Structure formats: C-alpha cells, structure tokens
Homo-oligomer: A and B are copies of this chain.
Amino acid sequence: MDKNCPITKTLAHFSRKWTLLILRELHNNGAKRFNHLISDMKDISPRTLSKRLKDLEKLGLVSKKRFNEIPPRVEYSLTNKGKEVIKCFKYLDNWVKRFDIK
C-alpha cells in the first residue's frame, strides 16, 4: 500500500487556510484583480493572499494574466484543472452539510 498517497498530499495544499476560499471566489466571480480579491474576501492579508496565489499558480490551479495597459493590470482566474477540482469539493461540501460538520 502506497503510504505516499497523492490524494493525501493534494489535501495538504487544500487544507491550508484561505486556499479553498480563494478558489471559490474565483469560481463564483471569474477573473479578478488582486485588490478586488483583497476587498471582497475581507480579513485576508495581502501577504497571505500573495503567497496562496503563488502556491495555486505552481499547482496549475490558478493562472495570472498581465494586460499591457497603463497602469498595468493583472488578473487571476481558475485554470481548467482548478475548475475541475472545485467540482470535487462540491461533493465534500454536500457531505459537510448533510452530516452537519462544524
């Protein structure tokens, strides 16, 4: 039995505070600028948001798009891989609600 279970390793990323909430925000509202994420998510610090977005980019779940405008504009959105993983967590969300997990 493979103790280095890839699902367990994947979950370690998603169990970090804010990660799922960032994905949900981008899923529900499409592409977003950094400052809009900060203002819409409340309570998250720019430092934490920046770190989490970098992690999500590395994992290939979020892409960063730069627009050649003045002032420069940068938007974050879910990749196809990110959209697909959100679907998995919808099942877990139903389970959490069904069994009233706090």
A interface residues (Cβ-Cβ under 8 A, vs B): 1, 3, 5-12, 14-21, 25, 40-44, 60, 81, 84-85, 87-89, 91-96, 98-99, 101-102
Minimum C-beta distance from A35 to chain B (A): 16
Query: How many angstroms between the C-alpha atoms of A25 and B1 in the bound complex?
Result: 10
Q: Which residues of B contact A43 (CB under 8 A)?
A: 1, 3
Say whether A11 contacts B11, CB under 8 Å: yes
A17 nearest CB across to chain B (Å):
6
- Which residues does chain B contribute within 8 Å of A91, judged by CB atoms? 87-88, 91
The answer on a CB contact under 8 Å between A1 and B41 is yes
**B7→A93 contact, CB < 8 A:** yes
Task: Given A85-B95, A88-B95, verify A101-B3 contact (CB < 8 Å).
Answer: no
Question: Is there contact, CB below 8 Å, between A92 and B98?
Answer: no
Structural contact, A20 and B7, CB atoms closer than 8 A: yes
Cα separation A91 to B15 with both chains bound (whole Å): 17
